[in-house]
Structures are given as structure tokens and as C-alpha cells.
């Protein structure tokens, strides 16, 4: 089942070995937004539950840590490797070579630290309550829609690699299906505010995909992770900016 393949690839949730094999991954990008929703509900539940007992700053740190833990640091690792490669190399070949290296450089350390600080600060700036809960539910789903979009839209930069397992001659169909799932999630769990976050994720992912493709001749597994992480940050920031003016709430609250 492609959903279990996506869940097994993007999270540490146990789904069985056969769903982690490369041959089962091609159509799984359809379900990336749904996996993001599962992550969002898990992390938002932890955040909301701890809100009854712990101060906001500590809860926010645990929430960021939980998101990294549940994803096995997959996207975070891709982000820091991409920071090293994109900023540390001056040619396409050198950038791709750096991203394959096991050791990390100064751009990776600085980029990773700044990413976690910004995520922590963004979540900590939200008052504990339902607005915060629904934003945390939504932003992982919207960012993984962005990742599914660029995965199916832009070429792969290497002849082989982890990201190549997702390539298929049905990429357009998968991209549209993932978009419809993401739109449904945005409307059901965020209503009008959710739609704003959906388009934020789309814009950021497309801009990053275009920019990185110009540098590398395509995207890689590391850059998919980097796009996911940066899209998460962008969606969080936009959510915080629009909350005073436009509610982010589930449709059953909005229509009552």
C-alpha cells in the first residue's frame, strides 16, 4: 500500500520492512500530505497535552524535538547536507560531491542551528490554545505537499540515489492527486487560513525547486529535505502573521 510506503519512508513509525523497499516508493508521494497530517496530529497532541503542565518555552522545545524524532531527522539531515553543498561548492559537480560526503561543514552547522532556533521561536510565539494546535497540525502536511510537488515536477539531478526511487512516468497524476489531498486537509483543518498556508507552501517549494535546479541541474534527496524544512518555516511564519486577521480553524468550527 502506497500510504504505508510513504509513512515508513517519512517517519519512524513501524510499518513493516516490505513497505520501505525502493520499488514500493514510486506512487507513495501521493500520500505525503497525509503523512504530514499524521505527524502534525501527533506533535500537536503532545504540544497540547504538555500545555497543561509545562511553560510555553519548554513545550515549544519538546514540540520541535518531537518532530525531528518522529521523522528520524530525515529532512533535517537533508537540509544540513544541502546547506553544505549549495553554499560550499562553486560548480554543479562540486556541490553534488559535497552533499555525498559524510562529514559536515560550517554551513551545515550554522544552517541546522538557525533552522531549529527559528522553528522553536515561531512555535513559542504562539499562545497555548486551539490556534496553536491547528497550526501545528497543518504545517507538516503543507510542507510535505510542497515536497511532493517538487519531487514530481523537477528532474532528478543524479543518475541514481534515494530520491530516484520516487520517479515515475505517472508523475503528473501523482502530483495532482497529492495536491487534491493537501487541499482537502487545508480546508478541513484550516478553512480559509488553511488555503493561505497551502498556497504559501506551493510558492516556497516551487521557488526553491526552481532555484536549486538551476544550481544542480535538478533536485536530489537532500534538497527534497531542505525544501521540506524551509517550507515548514515559511508556513509557520505566515500562519503567525495571519492569525490576528484570519482564523486558522477546522471547517466544523468555521461554519458554526
Tell whether 246 is covered by a domain: yes
Q: Is the pLDDT of residue 162 over 80?
A: no
pTM, 2 dp? 0.92
Is residue 220 within 8 Å of residue 157, measured between CB atoms? yes
Please indicate whether residue 173 or residue 35 has the higher confidence score (pLDDT): 35
Tell whether 18 is covered by a domain: no
The total domain count for the chain is: 1
pLDDT of residue 103: 83
Task: Name the residue range of residue 151's domain.
Answer: 2-8+25-159+167-254
Q: How many contiguous H segments (helices) and E segments (strands) does the chain have? A: 10, 0
Give the up-direction half-sphere exposure of residue 66: CA atoms within 13 A in the CB hemisphere.
21
Encode pLDDT of 56-94 as tens digits: 999 999 999 999 999 999 999 999 999 999 998 889 999
Would you put residue 161 in left (φ > 0), alpha (ψ -120 to 50) or beta? left
Encode pLDDT of 210-236 as tens digits: 999 999 999 998 999 999 999 999 999
Three-state DSSP class for residue 156: strand
| Cα separation, 184 vs 222, whole angstroms | 28
Tell whether 14 is covered by a domain: no
Tell whether 93 is covered by a domain: yes
Tell whether 13 is covered by a domain: no
| DSSP label of 104 | -
Give the up-direction half-sphere exposure of residue 227: CA atoms within 13 A in the CB hemisphere.
31
Mean residue pLDDT of the chain comes to 90
Low-confidence winner among 28-32, 72-76, 170-174, 189-193 (lowest mean pLDDT)? 170-174
Helix-strand-coil percent breakdown of the chain, rounded to 5? 75, 0, 20
Tell whether 68 is covered by a domain: yes
Tell whether 20 is covered by a domain: no
Tell whether 15 is covered by a domain: no
Amino acid at each position: 500500500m502506497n500510504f504505508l510506503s510513504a509513512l515508513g519512508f517519512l517517519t519512524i513509525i513501524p510499518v513493516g520492512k516490505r513497505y520501505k523497499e525502493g520499488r514500493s516508493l514510486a506512487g507513495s508521494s501521493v500520500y505525503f500530505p497525509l503523512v504530514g497530517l499524521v505527524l502534525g496530529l501527533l506533535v500537536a497532541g503532545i504540544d497540547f497535552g504538555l500545555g497543561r503542565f509545562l511553560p510555553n518555552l519548554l513545550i515549544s522545545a519538546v514540540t520541535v524535538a518531537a518532530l525531528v524524532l518522529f521523522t528520524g531527522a530525515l529532512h533535517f539531515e537533508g537540509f544540513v547536507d544541502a546547506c553544505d553543498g549549495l553554499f560550499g561548492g562553486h560548480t554543479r559537480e562540486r556541490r553534488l560531491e559535497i552533499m555525498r560526503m559524510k562529514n559536515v561543514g560550517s554551513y551545515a552547522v550554522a544552517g541546522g542551528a538557525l533552522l531549529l532556533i527559528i522553528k522553536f521561536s515561531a512555535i513559542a510565539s504562539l499562545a497555548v490554545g486551539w490556534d496553536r494546535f491547528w497550526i501545528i497540525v497543518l504545517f507538516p502536511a503543507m510542507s510535505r505537499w510542497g515536497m511532493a510537488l517538487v519531487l514530481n515536477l523537477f528532474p532528478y539531478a543524479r543518475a541514481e540515489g534515494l530520491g530516484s526511487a520516487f520517479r515515475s512516468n505517472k508523475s503528473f497524476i501523482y502530483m495532482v492527486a497529492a495536491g487534491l489531498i493537501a487541499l482537502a486537509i487545508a480546508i478541513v483543518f484550516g478553512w480559509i487560513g488553511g488555503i493561505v498556508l497551502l498556497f504559501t507552501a506551493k510558492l516556497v517549494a516551487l521557488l526553491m525547486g526552481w532555484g536549486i535546479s538551476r544550481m544542480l541541474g535538478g533536485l536530489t534527496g537532500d534538497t527534497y529535505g531542505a525544501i521540506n524544512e524551509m517550507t515548514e518555516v515559511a508556513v509557520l511564519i505566515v500562519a503567525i502573521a495571519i492569525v490576528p486577521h484570519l482564523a486558522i480553524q477546522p471547517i466544523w468550527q468555521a461554519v458554526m
